[in-house]
Amino acid sequence: MREYNVAVLGATGAVGHRLVEQLELSDIPVKSLKLLASPRSAGEKLFFKGEEITVEVAEADSFEGIDLVLASAGGSVSKKFLPEAVKRGAVCVDNTSAFRMDPEVPLVVPEVNADQLQNHKGIIANPNCSTIQMVVALEPIREKFGLNRIVVSTYQAASGAGQTALNEFYQEAQDYLAGEEMQSNIYPTASDKKHYPLAFNLLPQIDVFEEDGYTHEEWKMIHETKKIMLDDMDASELKVTATCVRVPVAIGHGESVYFEINDDKATVHDLQAALTKAPGVVLQDSPSKQVYPQPIEAEGKRDTFVGRVRADSENPGAFHLWVVSDNLLKGAAWNTVQIAEELVKRDLVRVP
């Protein structure tokens, strides 16, 4: 059996730690593990299968002899280092937005489009967290009934902005409860000019704004959903629009998904039946027993939880879903490792 020399680029931070953890839990035969980060984070020590590993400074030559790279150190870091890694023979699964919309790069959610992996040229992109859980929930429905329109409103957790942001959020919450003023230096997004508290608040801005009034996050959901669900089909076959809101929850994104299918006869029961059989989906949908997805229940789990399947009583073929998943696992670290597992299973850990 082939064993792999693996590197994690961006090993520190909320997603980085979980990448190492999910890799340890995975089926991937790891021969060696190298942990890489910026000079600022190098020196930190992490455990992998009982062995202590020191995080090293990432350089182009760090990827010599590496077979598989899992990257989550920011878009500019991926842009700089992943082509270097590919040049040295490594296949890279990238959790940043750097290559997602590159037509040469497969954008993969294994439950939806694992077959796209065979087209990789060295880099495979992991989608945005809010996109992943939505397509996992909608793909079994699209497959069976067709799908022509999505209107999604997100309820995205604090940890989506990273570990430092999450720490700021906890501090804000503590200050608020103590009756003190909240100090905000990160939310809604570190890279923008103004900062607002997230604790006990709602921030309808994730990432920066584009000229048209949409945020990057909203456009990511729109473009990535089409790329993942439609493969080579016409992008106009599925209309997608999104509103992304950061909410004062630590871990676990919620999504209120409204959608229209091509089958006007399908019932809520039909949709639930399709979801019950769907890979990666756990149907939690029993209103009479108050069973529905909640972030505090989803935390630490790999699945996408789906509930509140309801028909729009006035628009035939239109339905609602409520979708929750751990944004750091299925939304990031687990989906990345899951892609790597698929690459291993299909013997695709080689640069073509």
Query: Which residues are catalytically annotated?
Result: 129, 253
Q: Which stretch binds a copy of itself (CB under 8 A): 57-65, 79-87, 97-105, 244-252?
A: 244-252
R_g over Cα of the chain = 20
Nearest-angstrom CA–CA distance, 127 and 304: 15
Q: What is the greatest pairwise CA distance in the chain? A: 60
Question: Using the rule CB under 8 A, is 322 a contact of a copy of itself?
Answer: yes
3-state DSSP call for residue 1? coil
DSSP 110: H
CB neighbour list of residue 227: distance below 8 Å, 6 or more residues apart: 100, 101, 107
Residue type, 155: Y
Tokens 């842009």 belong to 79
Question: Using the rule CB under 8 A, is 45 a contact of a copy of itself?
Answer: no
Question: Using the rule CB under 8 A, is 349 a contact of a copy of itself?
Answer: no
Task: Find the binder of a copy of itself among 197, 280, 317, 331 (CB under 8 A).
Answer: 197
Question: Using the rule CB under 8 A, is 313 a contact of a copy of itself?
Answer: yes
What stretch of H or E contains 293?
none
Q: Which stretch binds a copy of itself (CB under 8 A): 18-26, 94-102, 313-321, 335-343?
A: 313-321
The separation between CA 219 and the C-alpha centre of its own chain, rounded to angstroms, equals 15
Beta bridge partners of 255: 154, 323
Tokens 């801005």 belong to 205
Taking CB under 8 A as the criterion, which residues in 268-297 touch a copy of itself?
Answer: 268, 287-290, 292-296
- Among residues 47 and 209, whose Cβ is nearest to a copy of itself? 209
Instruction: Report phi then psi at 56, rounded to 5.
Output: -105, 160
3-state DSSP call for residue 41? coil
Q: Which stretch binds a copy of itself (CB under 8 A): 57-65, 68-76, 95-103, 187-195?
A: 187-195
Phi-psi region of 54 (alpha: psi -120 to 50; beta: other; left: phi over 0): beta
Query: Using CB atoms within 10 A of its CB, is residue 239 exposed (0-12), middle (13-18) or buried (19+)?
Result: middle
Q: Any idea how long the chain is?
A: 352
Q: 46 and 17 in contact (C-beta within 8 Å)?
A: yes
The distance of closest approach from Cβ of residue 244 to a copy of itself in the complex, given in angstroms and rounded to an integer, is 9
Task: Find the binder of a copy of itself among 42, 151, 348, 351 (CB under 8 A).
Answer: 151
- Among residues 26 and 243, whose Cβ is nearest to a copy of itself? 243
Task: Find the binder of a copy of itself among 116, 205, 335, 336 (CB under 8 A).
Answer: 205
Question: Using the rule CB under 8 A, is 20 a contact of a copy of itself?
Answer: no
Taking CB under 8 A as the criterion, which residues in 83-142 touch a copy of itself?
Answer: none
Q: Which stretch binds a copy of itself (CB under 8 A): 46-54, 58-66, 111-119, 310-318?
A: 310-318
The distance of closest approach from Cβ of residue 304 to a copy of itself in the complex, given in angstroms and rounded to an integer, is 15
Question: Would you say 15 is a known binding-site residue?
Answer: yes
Among 156, 211, 160, 221, smallest CA distance to 186 is for: 160
Task: Find the binder of a copy of itself among 25, 57, 190, 202 (CB under 8 A).
Answer: 202
3-state DSSP call for residue 96? coil
Q: Which positions make up the binding site for NADP(+)? A: 12-15, 40-41, 159-160, 327
Q: Which positions make up the binding site for substrate? A: 156, 246
Binding residues vs a copy of itself (CB under 8 A):
149, 151, 153, 155, 170, 173-174, 177, 188, 192-194, 196-197, 200-205, 209, 212-214, 236, 239-241, 243, 245, 247-250, 252, 254, 256, 258, 268, 287-290, 292-296, 307-315, 318, 320, 322, 324
Q: Which positions make up the binding site? A: 12-15, 40-41, 100, 156, 159-160, 246, 327
Q: Which positions make up the binding site for phosphate? A: 100
